[in-house]
Amino acid sequence: MTDTDVTTAENPSNDEDVLRIIESARRLGIEMDEADTLQWLAALSAQSDDDVVVDADSGTFGHRISMLDFTPRDLERFRRIGRIVEVTGPEGVAESALALSGSAAQSKIQSFPGDCDYFQRLNIRAGTREAACRIMAELMREKVLATRRGDTYQFIEAKLGSYPVDCVRGGEPKRKGTPIAWSAAEIEAGEQAVETVDGRPAVVRWDDAALEPGWTKLDWVVVDPERGQLSNASNMMDVTWEAPDGTIVPLDGYLDAYFQEVYLDADAVPTFSKVAKHVTPDALDDYVEQLEHEVRKYLTKQLNYGKAAKRMYNVFRLSGRHLDAAFVRELFDEPTTILYQVWSLIVTLDNATQPGSSIPISTVQQQADELALQVVQALEGVEETEIVRALMQLRRVLESQESGADRTAEVEAARTRVNLVNTFFRDKLTAVPSINEYILRMQEETPGH
């Protein structure tokens, strides 16, 4: 690893392919700066002996390609929220490396990011794997109870373990092997009440679920006091066990790669390096394959071209399709893409106004008004009117802070209206022949083929 600022190589030649993609973008109303595009392409293609670099000025680090899309503009805000979401433990027992992921890690190009997504490597030293699992469960429990609610945050749920059998929770069927979502009250009690498929009462225990943790995640709604802005903040955890002989084993059976994370504290480099060296040589291929599975899902079963675009961008930049990546990169700065953020924040507003929430209703009202203003600035005509009307109706429903079918219906209605952003991404992506060909292939392929 090189302790240096991220730098770019000399610009490549002004070849016809680059000029063609820039001209295609301009015909579609997307302004691509030629010099900036060439510089980014050169940096992306540059050869380096070090995959991971440190930005000495900001104290952040990450994969060199990830660092190209990150700016420390909102770094203090992300670090402040990070203190809420990061799971920590006693020195010598637990060590952590906390990172931004998703659109938050691409703040240089994502002008309108969605949620505040974090990724944490939590390494636990213990005599046995079972002991490490129990330490992890207790540290997560302590974090949830310490941040259950406050003036600037409200805990939503945790994911830990999988249902051991088919069962029913709160009237909803849960299949064996699906992830378990836990409320703060259930975590405090240490168990979750369910019913067997034949109607008998049963419980799932927190400590038992931790022995096969699977997908481990924590979610909050947070408020930025300075901006009065709400966000969903999540912490996806990759927990490892360090045995007495120094062997490091991921508790969920798979050690995640590091191709989209920007780590917030250079002091965590030793922890990151110790764990990351165990990432398999096929990690990049596996990561791209995982992303393409999600791309396929958002192009077929759960149609969402905005989410597909965000994942396609990462596929393209990591698999050598750099010109396609350069085009998609520019889409995230277009005014219409503010609707992606609005779409995401509608769920945040819903979470912030659930019964018992500590988030002030005045903050929710301010955020709802801001969303409406953003729509007015981005759109015009009938589309603007319909979306603003839906947001104002949603605002009135959320102010009651009551749950029920009406509330659910209004949330879905508002999201449906705002999903105009889906059309924007679809039209722009399919207008580029090479990207359209990729989309068609993803839609035609079935997993496993």
pLDDT at 279 over 80: yes
For residue range 86-125, list pLDDT tens digits in order: 999 999 999 999 999 988 888 888 766 667 899 999 999 9
Q: Please report the pLDDT score of residue 446 as a whole number.
A: 61
CB–CB of 162/177 below 8 Å? yes
What mean pLDDT comes out for the span 41-52? 80
What mean pLDDT comes out for the span 274-294? 92
Report the range of poorest mean pLDDT among 22-36, 194-208, 295-309: 22-36
Is the model more confident about 10 or about 144? 144
CB–CB of 41/326 below 8 Å? yes
What mean pLDDT comes out for the span 311-328? 93
CA 224 to CA 350: how far, in whole Å?
A: 17
User: Which helix (H) or strand (E) is 276 found in, with range?
Assistant: helix 269-276
Q: In terms of Cα–Cα distance, which of 325, 340, 119, 150 is closest to 216?
A: 119
3-class secondary-structure state, position 334: coil
CB–CB of 99/118 below 8 Å? yes
| Band of residue 8 on the pLDDT scale cut at 50, 70, 90 | very low
pLDDT at 432 over 70: yes
What mean pLDDT comes out for the span 188-217? 96
Q: Which two tokens stand for residue 175?
A: 């299949």
Q: Please report the pLDDT score of residue 327 as a whole number.
A: 93
| Band of residue 2 on the pLDDT scale cut at 50, 70, 90 | very low
State the chain's mean pLDDT as an integer: 87
Q: Please report the pLDDT score of residue 439 as a whole number.
A: 96
pLDDT at 9 over 60: no
Is the model more confident about 96 or about 385? 96
pLDDT at 218 over 60: yes
Is the model more confident about 108 or about 405? 108
What mean pLDDT comes out for the span 118-137? 98
For residue range 325-372, list pLDDT tens digits in order: 999 998 888 877 777 777 777 888 888 888 888 888 888 888 888 778
Q: Assign 3-state DSSP to the chain and report helix, strand, coil percentages, each to 5.
A: 50, 20, 30
CA 338 to CA 408: how far, in whole Å?
A: 23
CA 2 to CA 141: how far, in whole Å?
A: 37
Q: Which two tokens stand for residue 238?
A: 């990759």
Amino acid sitting at position 266: A
What mean pLDDT comes out for the span 228-234? 86
pLDDT at 49 over 70: no
Q: Please report the pLDDT score of residue 53 as a whole number.
A: 93
Question: How crowded is residue 275: how many other Cβ atoms within 10 Å of its Cβ?
Answer: 22
Q: Which residue has the tokens 């999903």?
A: 419
Residues 6+ apart with CB under 8 A from 244: 127
pLDDT at 10 over 90: no
Question: How crowded is residue 184: how many other Cβ atoms within 10 Å of its Cβ?
Answer: 19
pLDDT at 295 over 70: yes
What mean pLDDT comes out for the span 388-405? 74
Q: Which two tokens stand for residue 66?
A: 């990830």
Q: Please report the pLDDT score of residue 403 as a whole number.
A: 66
7-21, 299-313, 376-390, 394-408, range with greatest mean pLDDT = 299-313
**Following DSSP, what letter does each residue of 66-94 receive, concatenated?**
HHTT--GGGHHHHHHHHHHH-----TTTE
pLDDT at 401 over 70: no
Strand partners, 222: 153, 231
| 87 burial via Cβ count (<10 Å: 0-12, 13-18, 19+) | buried
CB–CB of 194/167 below 8 Å? yes
- Kindly report the pTM of this predicted structure: 0.86
What mean pLDDT comes out for the span 146-155? 93
Q: Please report the pLDDT score of residue 5 as a whole number.
A: 35
